[in-house]
Structure 1
Amino acid sequence: MTIFSAVAVYFVIWWTVLFASIPFGLRTQEEEGSVIPGTTASAPAGSHMRRVVIRNSIVAALIYGALYGGNYWLGWSLDDLPRIIPDFPD
């Protein structure tokens, strides 16, 4: 695997994990009990993006490491995935 391919795969994993993990730990202004005038009650209470980015990078690195290890040591590839769509007879 070239370095470009490795970075591209990590990039895709990182963004996928980011969009899946953004809502975790998010507290709204209404839940905190301090709604700022001019904003909706469902707006986030504070910026938590630093924690999300750090947590996201660690989780993405673990997923990438598992995929890399499975490919390198176990020889797994996309061809080893089970078929989702069965073969129908002609």
Structure 2
Amino acid sequence: MEWPAGLAIYFILWWIVLFAVLPWGVKSRTEAGEEAIPGTDAGAPARHGLLIKAAVTTVIAAFAWAFVAWIWIYQPIPLDSIPFMPDFSAEY
């Protein structure tokens, strides 16, 4: 795997993991026992914790990327056995 492809795969995995991590531990202002600020939604989060979630996302995406890279490099499942994969054996 060349580095631009690896970087692109990591970028895509990072965003997928971010959207999975975003709802973790979110409490609305009413659930947290705080008063809603006039003009805001009652379901708005009291604390978002985006820096912690970004760090967690980075770590999880790194492990996911390492798994994808391992599959790509060592091919425990040959890519030719997957029906929808293109033929990589052709030399250009």
Query: What displacement does 1:75 show?
Result: 4.5
**Ranges in structure 1 where 5+ consecutive residues have no aligned partner:** 84-90
1:7 aligned residue = 7
Structure with greater helix percent: 1
TM-score (norm 1): 0.78
Q: Following TM superposition, by how much is the alpha carbon of 1:76 offset from its aligned partner in structure 2, in angstroms?
A: 3.9
Q: Percent identity?
A: 33
* 1:28 equivalenced with 2:24 (yes/no): no
- Measure, in 1, the Cα distance between the counterparts of 2:38 and 2:70: 51
Q: Note the alpha carbon deviations across 1:15-47, whole angstroms, 9 max, x for none.
A: 111112111111110111112233221001023
Amino acid at match of 2:38: P
Segments of structure 2 that go 5 or more residues without pairing to the other structure are: 85-92
Q: Deviation at 1:50? A: 0.6
Counterpart residue type for residue 20 of structure 1: A
Correspondence for 1:55: 56
Moved over 2 A (4+): 35-38, 73-83
Is 1:73–2:74 an aligned residue pair?
A: yes
RMSD: 2.0
Residue type of the partner of 2:16? T
2: CA distance, partners of 1:55 / 1:80 = 34
CA contact (8 A) 1:10 1:64 kept: yes
Taking structure 1 as reference, are residues 30 and 82 closer, same or farther at Cα in structure 2, changes over 3 Å only? farther
In structure 2, what is the equivalent of residue 86 of structure 1? none
Moved more, 2-11 or 67-76: 67-76
Task: Compute the TM-score of the two structures, normalised by the length of structure 2.
Answer: 0.76
State how far apart, in whole Å, the 2-side matches of 1:43 and 1:22 are.
13
